[in-house]
Structure 1
Amino acid sequence: MERYDNVSDEELIARLRKGETGIADYLLEKYKGLVRQKARAMYLIGGDTDDLSQEGMIGLFKAVRDYQPDREASFMTFARMCIDRQLYSAVQNSNRQKHIPLNHYVSLSNEDEEEPVIEQWVANPESIIIGKESIRDLQDKIAGSLSPMENKVLNYFLSGKTYAQIGEAMGKSPKSIDNALKRIRVKVREELDKYGK
């Protein structure tokens, strides 16, 4: 696997199309952390982390299968979009009848805001703008409902750190981090309930 470390994703995809084996497995392994990070963010709005991780891996697999190097977007951008779409679809399908606010993908991390809107394959540009404004508004409300300590825990959690790593960084026990995340989930759900009314 190390033999691919210094090769661009786009070149790897081109080599994969020519029949070189092992590349798909390498790319799936390389981006597994990104899938976990996105699945953890979605878990906060009512998903099951393992199920969402599997859905995210399906999205990543589709990215490997469908990416076209001649397009303007990089493979990483395309992979993020495919993972997001798969996660959004999974949450939307599982919650269609339960909670209307949960049918909307809400990213609690800042990483998606760095992507140009044009790179998100959505048919209606107006809905992209309105959706992004609504998400930012919801993110602000959620951040405002959390204590400074909870906001810090949430940021560490969304960056992929374990309870032990967060506890060590903040000088707290893993149990207190677990309790903080439970409080965060409750507050996020409360804000989502208000948001849907």
Structure 2
Amino acid sequence: MCYDAFSDEELIAKLRRGENEVTDYILEKYKPLVRKRTNAMYLMGGETEDLIQEGMIGLFKAIRDYQEEREASFYHFAELCINRQLYSALQASNRKKHQPLNTYISFSSGESDDGVKVEDALLGQSQSPEQLVIEKEVWEDFKQRLNGRLSKMENQVLAFYLDGNNYIQIAQLMNKSPKSIDNALQRIRQKVKQMKQEERG
């Protein structure tokens, strides 16, 4: 059966009525979102394939736990579940001192359908307004300093990468060799790592 004409919420309702093949359809439909979030996490030190698996686990949890009467939209709920799973996996493998900073680096490019920033939705559950203001200032400062350290090409590569493209797709978009894009991503990752070390003193 083709499910393209149905909304996510309608698909979840079908799944609850026993149409189990809906799960595979939603998992495939949301793979690009998982890839987009994984790309951002990769820059923070994660391993791509492991993070993709974690992201798919988060998506599966969203399918399992979504309740239309309690959640705004499935897309928004899935986005939050994917982000939480990825961030938890990265924290577990690489404990960090500056959690707010890491959260903003990982999720700064994400925005849900209803215009709510992912970092606001995540941190807003456990942080006070005063803490959120401080963390936003930390992120803005870090972003400005990172942009200042990246070349024009690296900034372009980073923008495409955080939008969910892999290095081969970026190479096509920028009319450059895949090797040059891969090298640029490695340089960006190294600069992020260096700045994190500087933050720790």
Q: TM-score range by the shorter chain?
A: 0.7 to 0.9
Provide, for residues 98-131 of structure 1, a one-character-per-residue CA deviation record: whole Å limited to 9, x for no partner: x434783222652238425774462334344433
Supply the distance in 2 between the matched residues of 1:171 and 1:109 (Cα, whole angstroms): 27
Structure-2 residue corresponding to 1:84: 83
Structure-1 residue corresponding to 2:49: 50
* Compared CA separation, residues 128 and 112, structure 1 to 2 (3 A): farther
2:134 is aligned with 1:130: yes
Asked if 2 retains the 8 angstrom alpha-carbon contact of 1:45 and 1:185, the reply is: yes
2:188 is aligned with 1:189: no
> Post-superposition shift, 1:164?
3.1
Supply the distance in 2 between the matched residues of 1:90 and 1:144 (Cα, whole angstroms): 29
Provide, for residues 104-159 of structure 1, a one-character-per-residue CA deviation record: whole Å limited to 9, x for no partner: 32226522384257744623343444334333332222222111110001111222
Supply the distance in 2 between the matched residues of 1:74 and 1:125 (Cα, whole angstroms): 25
Structure-1 residue corresponding to 2:110: 111
> Post-superposition shift, 1:33?
1.1
Alignment equivalent of 1:159, drawn from 156, 163, 168: 163
> Post-superposition shift, 1:88?
0.9
Supply the distance in 2 between the matched residues of 1:192 and 1:112 (Cα, whole angstroms): 24
* Compared CA separation, residues 125 and 17, structure 1 to 2 (3 A): farther
Structure-2 residue corresponding to 1:174: 178
Structure 2 stretches lacking a partner, 5+ long: none
Corresponding letter in the other structure for 2:45? G
Aligned residue for 1:73, secondary structure, equals coil
* Compared CA separation, residues 108 and 75, structure 1 to 2 (3 A): closer
Supply the distance in 2 between the matched residues of 1:35 and 1:80 (Cα, whole angstroms): 8
2:97 is aligned with 1:100: yes
Corresponding letter in the other structure for 1:78? F
Corresponding letter in the other structure for 2:142? L
What's the Cα RMSD here? Answer: 2.3
Aligned residue for 2:106, secondary structure, equals coil
Supply the distance in 1 between the matched residues of 2:190 and 2:99 (Cα, whole angstroms): 14
* Compared CA separation, residues 130 and 78, structure 1 to 2 (3 A): farther
What is the identity percentage for the equivalent residue pairs of Structure 1 and Structure 2?
A: 52
TM, length-normalised to structure 1 = 0.87
* Compared CA separation, residues 83 and 132, structure 1 to 2 (3 A): farther
Aligned residue for 1:111, secondary structure, equals coil
Structure 1 stretches lacking a partner, 5+ long: none
2:138 is aligned with 1:139: no
